[in-house]
Structure 1
Amino acid sequence: MSSSHDQRPELYNITLPAVNTRWDHARNYRRRVQQVPQVDPRSDPSILDVEQNAEFWVRQLVLAMINLEDIKDTENSSAAKMFLPEAYDSLLIEATCREIFLDLIDRCKNGFRGPAQFNKALKPQRGLEADQIADCGERILNVIDALMWNKRVCKDVLFEDWKIRLLVNHPLSYDKEKDSQKGSNDQRRKRLEAERERLKKIEEELLAYRLSLLG
């Protein structure tokens, strides 16, 4: 017979008033769009392409989160340790990546759900203009890059949905803000070379994935 502390805690459902009440209005108000996309979704064909290959992109997000090669973090950083094979919860990571994907599509279609003072895509720093003008296809690649190389970004989004909205809105600025890179030029050059190879591999895998769907 198992002891009481071995048993799962009992979960209780919270009963809210019926729909179309102030409860719903309050929830919707907190998540309202405060900045429409700078790229008109009607003129961005990459949105449909990304949506149609959702499982492929979720897989790329997962691989980026668990990557520990050539990362910006120090070897013994708490963020990096969270993504060691024996440490992470694979179901949580997949759930997080699916949330990232959905929020990214929402950002591309509807805009940023947050106040202007947190929106770094409004006036991006020099070299980070893609946060403002990237189409959906480029935006998801920039999100993957941030997750791939910066485990502090991964740590943020693993438990905080608000941080996910910030990441998909301005991935380059978010990565720079969290950047803990202190390595040598050789390390940076090695990572850039790895990035070029990774992008080439993603293009090849995406093409193969599309062909497999065609049967």
Structure 2
Amino acid sequence: MKAFRALLIAAALGSSPALAASYTVKAGDTLSKIAVQYRMEPAQLMRLNGLNSTTIQVGQRLNVGGAAATAAAAPARAAAPVAAAPRGNAFVRSAASRFLGIRYALGGTGGRGVDCSGYTMLVFRQMGINLPRTAASQWRSGYAVSSRNLQPGDLVFFNTTGRVASHVGIYIGDGLMANANSYQGRTVIEPLFGNPYWATRYVGARRVLS
């Protein structure tokens, strides 16, 4: 709101507002959320601030390279949920696609292969979120969402071995999910409810992206 008022005042005075040089981390912020706001990649934001991990603290000041925040630089209608949704979808798909085609390896978290929860860990790390190691522990992360309200970035869970949450994937929109598929032997994008195997084993979804 303050940035928006500054924009209006600057417009009334006939001058351009100064571009933001830093950002103070607020409660609920993640590195990926801030990166999207300033039209940057999380890795770029990490390099600018010399960060070795995606962990950030409330009150921490981040160098945003003089970039203008999307909400301040764009017209008010561009910040509406309808306009923002495609950008969020593309951002999640981009993060998920970086690790497609990796060989499936039970217990793997990178290097020579990944399993289902190892894959979700890698993807979410790119978005500034550290997930627990196993599908069962990721099932306890975030909060539950209905299958009717799935959004790109939601974790989707399946019962494949008799346990409540023994497999996990990432919903990327348009009825699709990205996951490390042991049957196909690699990380892939495939239908969620359009695939009878997954549809009959689906147990729920959790939202960890704000």
More helix by percentage: 1
Higher relative contact order (CA 8 A, sep 6+): 1
TM bucket by the smaller chain?
A: under 0.3
TM-score by length of 2: 0.23
TM-score by length of 1: 0.23
